[in-house]
Structure formats: structure tokens, C-alpha cells
Structure 1
Amino acid sequence: MGIRLTGLSIPGGFGAQWQKTEGDKDVARRVLLFLEDRRLLFGQQHRRDESHCISSALQIRTFLTEQLNLVKPKSDLFENLRAMRAACRRFVEAAGPHGRYLSYGERYGQPDPFSLALGDLRSMMGIHIAILAQAYDLEIDEELASILPPQPQDDDGDLHRLPGFN
């Protein structure tokens, strides 16, 4: 938790007004709690309702944008939340208007575009969820943890051993 200066008064004496602000750990915890309830990220029923998946991705994007307004720009948390939001945006763009592009490949013998887009979303979200959990020492719900990248061989929890985390 931090303190943000919101005003100063000098006539007749010195005064200051401030507001308590949430810390990054509070924001990271709230993000993980929100994502725990998003079956889009780990559920198996996604094939039955693609439009619901698109709606869920849009809700996640909106929530992440709200949380971005609560953290310092250019901080590690800010960059992780932006990357998570971008993953949601790519999923929605891959779906196209009303999910029109998600079933296109199936008709032409190409890989299932919905599963590819969903796999990309889940893997990117899993990476950033792992980073948040490690950085702020937070526990992750078992279902949400199913999308995390594999643990490093030495089990020290250090993500620098994963590709792309030097």
C-alpha cells in the first residue's frame, strides 16, 4: 500500500492531503482471483460456445485495462498486465466479427483456428500468471495453474531457465 499526495495548502500553515493507494501485490492478487473464475483459460467446454469465449476474453481485457489504471506506468506489473491484455486482444481479433473466423479452417482441412487461438491465449496468459505469482509470492488456484508453463528442472522456481526469461 502506498500514499499519493493529492493536495497542499499553505495559507495560515502548512497542510497536505493524501490518499492511500493499493500496492502492486494487491492488484496482482485481484487479477489472479478474477482469472480463477474464467473457464476460457482452463475449461473443457469451450468448443460448445465460441461466442461465450469471445465475450469472456473481452471481459478479461476490460478488467485488465481497469487494473492498468491502478499501477505505475512502465513498472513490471504494468508491462505484464499489458501483455495479458494484448493476448486477449489477439484472441478476439483471431475470432473475427461474431467469431466468424474460428471455424473457417475446419471446412478446408486446415488446423482448427479456434483451438490454435485458444492455445496461444492460454499459453501467453499462463506465462504472465506465473510471473505475477512468483514476483508477488501469490498462490494460484489449481485449475488456473493448469495453464502455467512447466517448472524448471532444478525446481528452484526461477523463471530465467524458461525460454524467453533471461
Structure 2
Amino acid sequence: MTTSEKVRIKGQELLSRLSSLSLLGFGIGVKFPEAERGVVREIIIFLEDRRVLYVNFNLEVESQVIDSVLSMRKELTSALKRVDSDSPAAKAFNSMRAECRRFLTSPRAGFPNIAGDGPRGRGGMDASFFESLGKLRTVFGLQLAGLAALYDLDLSPELETILPPPPDTDEEDDLERRHWRY
């Protein structure tokens, strides 16, 4: 985060604490924008309770996942109205909201030979649904990692499970991985 971004964020926090100004006995009520950090924190708190982002795939129920994604999209839209449109938070919220739309509306890939039992595989689990859910979790993990770093916020252990992995520093393991055949 650059120094100017830090100053801007702190300035927004101070402005958001004011609800009116008065000078020489005359006053005026002004509604200042909410502190961006506060809005980001609220979104993170909301997402901490969204099991769709971190629960094991085998525990997911498609209809409940869809309801949860709709709820996340609604909350992100509300948050977008409360932050500056050019802010890093708005960009992250837009990315996550777009991913919700993609999850809800895009056709899913077909996996006709999964486990030899047709497109739903064993136990009736739809592989394309879980692939799409994995993409959603990836986008949210990337955006949440950026927001947490930029606004100096902590994430719950559950949300940390969808963050990008730390860089691998074991060069020998990395060399070995480059020669694997998939």
C-alpha cells in the first residue's frame, strides 16, 4: 500500500466520524462517506459465515449453495454503493460479484466419464458444479487476500483456507515438479 493510499484511508475514517459541522453558531449536517476499511471489514465478517466458501465439497448441497451465492451477490452490491467507485475495495467487490454472476448463469462443463457412472459420478455428485464452485472460491480467495493485506484486516481460519498458497521456496521440490508429466 502506498503512503497516499494510507493517508486517504485514514482521512476517510476521520470524515466518516463527523455527521455535522458548525462555525460561529451556524451548523450544517453533512453525510460523509463511510470509512472504506469499515465496509471491507463488514463484508469479511459477512463472508466468514458463508459455508459455500470453505466447507468440504462433499458436504455441499447445490440448492443451499445457490441461495448463499445469491446472498453474497446482494451483500456485495450493497457494499459497492457505500465505497468510492475507484477504490481498491470497489474493484475487489466488483470481481467477487461478477464471479457470483458467472457461477449462477454460466453453463457448466460436461464430465460424461467421471467415475464411469455418467455426468453425476458416484453418489449423484455433479462434477461440473464442484468445478464451478472451485473457481468461485479461487476468485474470492484472491480478492480477500488483497483486501486483508491492503486494509490490514484479519481473516477467519475458515476463510484462510481459500487464500492462495504461500510461495514455494523449496527449489528442489520445484525442480522435481517441473518434470512431472500430467
Sort the TM-score into its range (normalised by shorter chain). Answer: 0.7 to 0.9
Per the alignment, residue 85 of structure 1 pairs with 97
Q: Does 1:115 align with 2:130?
A: yes
Pick aligned residue for 1:63 from 65, 75, 82: 75
Q: Following the alignment from structure 1 to structure 2, what is the Cα–Cα distance between the partners of residues 152 and 25?
A: 27
| Residues 103, 60 of structure 1: alpha-carbon distance in 2 compared, 3 angstrom cutoff | farther
Runs of at least 5 residues in structure 2 that lack an aligned partner in the other structure = 1-12, 170-182
Matches within 5 A, 1:5-44: 15-44=27-56
Moved over 4 A (4+): 3-7, 45-48, 101-106, 108-111
- Give the greater-gyration-radius structure (CA): 2
Q: Deviations over 1:100-159 (max 9, x none)?
A: x688756348982111100100000000000010000000000111000012358xxxxx
CA positional deviation for 1:48: 4.7
Letter in 2 for 1:53: V
Q: Following the alignment from structure 1 to structure 2, what is the Cα–Cα distance between the partners of residues 61 and 152?
A: 30
| Residues 137, 48 of structure 1: alpha-carbon distance in 2 compared, 3 angstrom cutoff | closer
| Residues 136, 49 of structure 1: alpha-carbon distance in 2 compared, 3 angstrom cutoff | same
Letter in 1 for 2:81: N
User: Given that residues 119 and 127 in structure 2 are in contact (C-alpha distance below 8 angstroms), is that contact kept between their aligned partners in structure 1?
Assistant: no
TM-score by length of 1: 0.74
Runs of at least 5 residues in structure 1 that lack an aligned partner in the other structure = 8-12, 155-166
User: Given that residues 42 and 143 in structure 1 are in contact (C-alpha distance below 8 angstroms), is that contact kept between their aligned partners in structure 2?
Assistant: yes
Q: Following the alignment from structure 1 to structure 2, what is the Cα–Cα distance between the partners of residues 108 and 52?
A: 21
CA positional deviation for 1:46: 5.7
Q: Following the alignment from structure 2 to structure 1, what is the Cα–Cα distance between the partners of residues 111 and 168?
A: 39
Q: Deviations over 1:73-126 (max 9, x none)?
A: 1211111100010111111113x6xxxx68875634898211110010000000
| Residues 59, 74 of structure 1: alpha-carbon distance in 2 compared, 3 angstrom cutoff | same
Letter in 2 for 1:143: E
User: Given that residues 16 and 35 in structure 2 are in contact (C-alpha distance below 8 angstroms), is that contact kept between their aligned partners in structure 1?
Assistant: no
Per the alignment, residue 74 of structure 1 pairs with 86
Q: Following the alignment from structure 2 to structure 1, what is the Cα–Cα distance between the partners of residues 29 and 18?
A: 6
| Residues 48, 122 of structure 1: alpha-carbon distance in 2 compared, 3 angstrom cutoff | closer
Per the alignment, residue 53 of structure 1 pairs with 65
Letter in 1 for 2:129: F
How many equivalent residue pairs? 145
User: Partner of 2:82: helix, strand, or coil?
Assistant: coil
Q: Following the alignment from structure 2 to structure 1, what is the Cα–Cα distance between the partners of residues 156 and 73?
A: 20
